[in-house]
Amino acid sequence: MNPLDRLTDLFERFPGIGPRQARRFVQFLLAEQAGFRSDLAESIRHLGTETAQCKKCFRWFVKNEEERGLCTICGNPKREAATLFVVEKDADIENVEHSGFRGLYFVLGGTIPLASEQPERHVRMHELLRRIETDASALELNELILGLSATSEGDHTRLILQEKIRPISEGLNFKVSSLGRGLSTGSELEYADPDTIASALSSRN
Ligand SMILES: [Zn+2]
């Protein structure tokens, strides 16, 4: 495959990027200075070697911030371990942090498509169930907050998770809540402002 098609194919794998946009990125890179292209290539290479995925919440962080394989949030003893906030993706955490939340997180890694017959293939379902079982058995968990998008796929994912979590929460006695009003229909945490998230958190049920 020629380098133009090869790079176009790679860009097409990015979320929300179609063939025409992918081709535009390639044209943009062709018009840029060689220095920009090598900076970009090097940054991508470093992404693999200088970052790590947190063992506990699964978010990506820069290795020099590491604390025993944990990110700065999970490694911080001052965080309130009794409240666990489940988010879809890494980008959601930043916004929730600005809303003043001081508990811990778990990154689900996406949502479950409506027609999927194997929901656990799309998100970190097993890892989440194991995490809450461990935390709740150690009496460290009082509340699990499901912070999914107000979209049909987010609702679908929440229902499946609630069903899987129910037997554990009944046995180990912790509360499972969801974000309340405030997040408008169709909105994702990543794009919600901190005040909206704070109000959705305070009206959780
Ligand atoms: Zn972490």
Whether residue 180 is predicted with pLDDT greater than 80 in this model: the reply is no
- Torsion sign (Cα): 112, 116, 117, 118: negative
Are 91 and 192 in contact by the 8 Å Cβ rule? The answer is no
CA distance 194 to 99: 4
**Which of 1.10.8.420, 1.20.120.530, 1.10.1200.10, 1.10.260.30 would CATH assign to domain 3-49?**
1.10.8.420
36 Cα to the center of ligand 1, angstroms: 32
Around 17, how many Cα atoms within 13 Å sit in the side-chain half-sphere? 15
How many Cα atoms are found within 13 Å in the side-chain-facing hemisphere of 162? 14
Question: 162 alpha carbon to ligand 1 midpoint, in Å?
Answer: 23
* Ligand 1 centroid – CA 42 distance (Å): 26
The domain made up of 55-202 is a member of CATH 3.40.1360.10: yes
- Kindly report the average pLDDT of the chain as a whole number: 90
Number of H helices, E strands in the chain: 7, 6
CA–centroid distance, 72 to ligand 1, in Å, is 7
What is the 161 CA–ligand 1 centroid distance (Å)? 21
Residue 58 pairs in a beta bridge with none
Per-residue confidence (pLDDT) for residue 193, from 0 to 100:
82
From the CA of 53, how far away is ligand 1's center (Å)? 8
> Which tokens go with 32?
């840029």
3 state SS of 78 = coil
Q: How far apart are CA 27 and CA 125, in angstroms?
A: 40
Does 183 have pLDDT greater than 80? no
Query: What predicted TM-score, i.e. pTM, was given to this entire model?
Result: 0.82
Ranges of CATH 3.40.1360.10 domains, the chain:
55-202
Q: Which of 164, 37, 24, 179 is nearest to 96 (CA)?
A: 179
Place of tokens 């990543």: 190
Distance in Å, CA 70 to ligand 1 centroid = 5
205 Cα–ligand 1 center, Å: 25
CA of 66 to the centre of ligand 1 (A): 10
Contact in structure between 124 and 185 (CB atoms under 8 Å): no
CATH 1.10.8.420 intervals, the chain: 3-49
User: pLDDT tens for residues 71-105?
Assistant: 999 999 999 999 999 999 999 999 899 999 999 99
- pLDDT-derived band at 120 (thresholds 50, 70, 90) equals confident
Instruction: Give 8 Cα–ligand 1 centroid separation in angstroms.
Output: 34
CA of 29 to the centre of ligand 1 (A): 35
- Alpha-carbon radius of gyration of the chain: 20
State how far Cα 166 lies from the chain centre: 22
